[in-house]
Amino acid sequence: MEFHRFLFYASIILSISVYLFPIMANSMGINYGQIADNLPSPEDVVPIVKSIGATKVKLYDADPKVLKAFANTGVEFIVGLGNEYLDKMRDPAKAQAWVKQNVQSHLPATKITCIFVGNEVLTFNDTSLSNSLLPAMQSVHTALVNLGLDKQVTVTTAHSLSILETSYPPSSGAFREDLVDCLSETLSFHQKTGSPFLINAYPFFAYKGNPKQVQLDFVLFQPNQGVIDPATNLHYDNMLYAQIDAVYNALASLGYKKLPVHISETGWPSKGDEDEVGATPDNAKKYNGNLIKLMSKKTGTPMRPNSDLNIYVFALFNENMKPGPTSERNYGLFKPDGTPAYSLGISSTSNVAGSNTTTGGTNGKPLSPIPTPPSTPTSSSTGYLSISPATGRYESVGTVLLASLILTKMLLW
């Protein structure tokens, strides 16, 4: 890295870190996507990641330049194995070769703690991909065992929230019937190997699909009256926590009550197309800023108040080459030049929804539906794009059945 470039980025970080992130989130995770042609070098990204207090980074591949740049920084990494590799990874020999080249070669200098095999595979409605998922995960884990790395590196996969059949109320969270068999085998793998269950959750899509029914304050962690789950009497004042607890209940219904859940993606775009209601800098500031405040508190959801939230914010940078609507290119906390896309304005932890979510009271209302986007993911010509978070995140949430359910339930308010 050239010295003058280092000074340039260092000056940017020093100038923005004081007012952009006065409160650092403990164990904050960040998604580092690279579908762009104008991003800073990995060496220049290191101080940017540290400026937001992030201690964990999730990649969508195992980019050696990034992994080398973060050597000896103490930052933990989740690396990705693209969907296009799943069939190949069924072969134990090929899986071991991949692990040697992309993981073992960077240890222990770079702290790689997890490999996620495939992204939102089960909602692609692609039988060949689905059938290859678990065998690929097993082969990668076996490779780690053979190399003596299984105690420090786990194997998992990331799911879309649309693997849920129901998410309203959280206490009735359940997986799609057509995915239960496949999921059960995967969950057994998680339990045996001690790996987390990863879920991508975006309240933005619930609001975008039903802005008149879904309260904006509820999805942005802003102060609001909140809602009550009638079955548990638990009080919810933000949608993300309700979505997470719906996942916990879905897992419990299959006998996996103690399986750890990590939110591998969540975020809010600062810009969108005309029909992308709510995609503004102010809403992005509120969503991500309030979320970071909550993470700094180290408190859990109403159902799991003592469980730390492991959340990876999406995303580090705006990525100018991502497909899809305008929002897909505007999820970043930072612009490609290293300056903030907007100020998060974090100055205190007061007046943030979710800071006191325990049981319901007289002011609570029956819980509103928490819609999840159906998945109609698109394929990509490259492996990097196929595992990218661009896939399956910009579909409509307005199916007739879901809309009817929302309108019916909203009459109870």
Which residues form the catalytic set? 120, 265
Q: Residue 294 region, left (φ>0) first, then alpha (ψ -120 to 50), else beta?
A: alpha
Torsion of CA 38, 41, 44, 50, to 10 degrees: 90
Q: Which two tokens stand for residue 308?
A: 């730390």
Q: Which DSSP category does 44 fall into?
A: H
Neighbours of 230 (CB within 10 A): 16
CB 255 within 8 A of CB 322: no
Backbone angles phi, psi at 160, to 5 degrees: -80, 150
CB 114 within 8 A of CB 74: no
CB 205 within 8 A of CB 326: no
CB 234 within 8 A of CB 370: no
Beta strands 76-81 and 111-119: pairing type?
parallel
CB 12 within 8 A of CB 47: no
The closest alpha carbon to 129, from 187, 179, 177, belongs to 179
Segment (H or E) for 395: none
∠ CA(238), CA(296), CA(277), 5° rounding? Answer: 35
